[in-house]
């Protein structure tokens, strides 16, 4: 059966929005390296922000997503989630989209060691045309975070060097907390004029928070979802992932760039 372009787009939006992680959710004991200090309770506002963020993402509500996004760079990006520079491999490009895989020890023991960085090429820029769209840690799932596994054309293959250079520069800046460089190399998809279409429904949602040493909150989620297409809306799937919430000026916000999504 040949998939329609609309179905492919909806599936890709979902894949690049949810980093799927292994099971082990409600009712289980937290693993040793999870919370920073067990005696401190997690502010319910952190879970409420993640809940609202996920539902806004599902229906394509950009205004809510903007309101829930941190404004200060140190909160937007947060501390680097790698202990040292990860190893990058399999850089690939397809038109204006780029992907590159990484492997490196995370600072958060709950994150896997492997994942994929998604990038977008900007025609309007003469230099540093590639920008990072998001970092996605991989989990055990039947859904893939890799919309394409190789560069299909010679022109795409030429871009592989630039994709790798952009990812390296971005990660090095993150390790050094160079927020200015990171901001320059971040693709601001949320503030684009093009409207965002909702790609899936959330049928049910469970959250499991853990307080981290920097004061942020890791919120693992389990969601029953279905695509927003007439026939596929009947098919339910379980997505597991993680988002990071941070308090800014008395309000809880959600980091969009660094997540186990």
Q: What is the pLDDT along the chain (261 residues), one digit of tens a residue?
A: 443 443 334 444 444 344 333 333 433 333 334 444 445 789 999 999 999 999 998 899 999 999 999 999 999 999 999 999 999 999 999 999 999 999 999 999 888 999 999 999 987 676 789 999 999 888 644 344 557 899 999 999 999 999 999 999 999 999 999 999 999 999 988 888 887 777 788 999 999 999 998 899 999 998 888 877 655 555 667 878 889 999 999 999 999 876 565
Q: Which residues lie below 8 Å from residue 116, measured CB to CB, with a gap of 6+?
A: 99, 100, 101, 102, 135, 136, 138, 145, 146
Per-residue pLDDT, 241: 85
> In this structure, is residue 230 part of a structural domain?
yes
Do the domain assignments include residue 27?
no
**Alpha carbon distance 140, 120 (integer Å):** 26
* Domain assignment present for 254: yes
Please tell me the distance from the alpha carbon of residue 235 to that of residue 64, in angstroms, as a whole number.
27
Task: Single out the residue of 217, 189, 174 nearest to residue 17, CA to CA.
Answer: 189
pLDDT computed for residue 51 by the predictor = 96
Q: Let me know if residue 28 belongs to a domain.
A: no
- Write a three-state SS string for 199-228: CEEEEEEEEEEEECCCCCEEEEEEEEEEEC
- The structure's pTM equals 0.78
Is residue 188 in a domain?
yes
Identify the pLDDT of residue 147. 74
Phi, psi of 79 (to 5 degrees): -60, 145
Tell whether 12 is covered by a domain: yes
Q: Identify the pLDDT of residue 191.
A: 84
Q: How many domains does the chain have?
A: 1
Domain that holds residue 100: 5-22+33-259
pLDDT at 1: 43
Residues making up the chain, counted from first to last: 261
Q: Would you list the DSSP string of 147-215?
A: S-SS--SHHHHHTHHHHHHHHHHHHHHHHTT-HHHHHHTB--GGG-SS-----EEEEEEEEEEEE-TTS
């Amino acid at each position: 059966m040949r998939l329609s372009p609309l179905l492919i787009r909806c599936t890709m939006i979902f894949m690049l929005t949810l980093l799927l992680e292994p099971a082990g959710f409600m009712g289980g004991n937290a693993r040793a390296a999870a919370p920073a200090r067990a005696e401190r309770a997690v502010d319910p506002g952190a879970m409420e922000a993640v809940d609202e963020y996920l539902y806004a993402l599902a229906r394509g509500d950009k205004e809510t997503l903007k309101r829930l996004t941190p404004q200060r760079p140190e909160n937007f990006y947060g501390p680097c989630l790698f202990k040292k520079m990860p190893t990058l491999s399999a850089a690939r490009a397809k038109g204006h989209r780029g992907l590159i895989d990484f492997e490196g020890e995370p600072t958060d023991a709950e994150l896997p060691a492997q994942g994929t960085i998604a990038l977008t090429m900007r025609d309007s820029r003469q230099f540093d045309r590639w920008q990072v769209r998001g970092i996605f840690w991989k989990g055990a799932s039947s859904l893939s975070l890799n919309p394409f596994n190789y560069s299909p054309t010679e022109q795409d293959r030429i871009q592989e060097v630039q994709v790798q250079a952009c990812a390296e520069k971005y990660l090095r800046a993150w390790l050094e907390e160079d927020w200015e460089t990171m901001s320059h190399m971040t693709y601001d998809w949320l503030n684009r004029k093009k409207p965002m279409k909702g790609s899936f429904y959330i049928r049910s949602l469970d959250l499991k928070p853990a307080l981290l040493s920097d004061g942020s909150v890791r919120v693992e989620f389990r969601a029953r979802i279905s695509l927003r297409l007439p026939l596929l809306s009947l098919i339910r799937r379980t997505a597991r992932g993680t988002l990071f919430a941070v308090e800014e000026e008395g309000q809880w916000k959600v980091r969009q760039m660094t997540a186990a999504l």
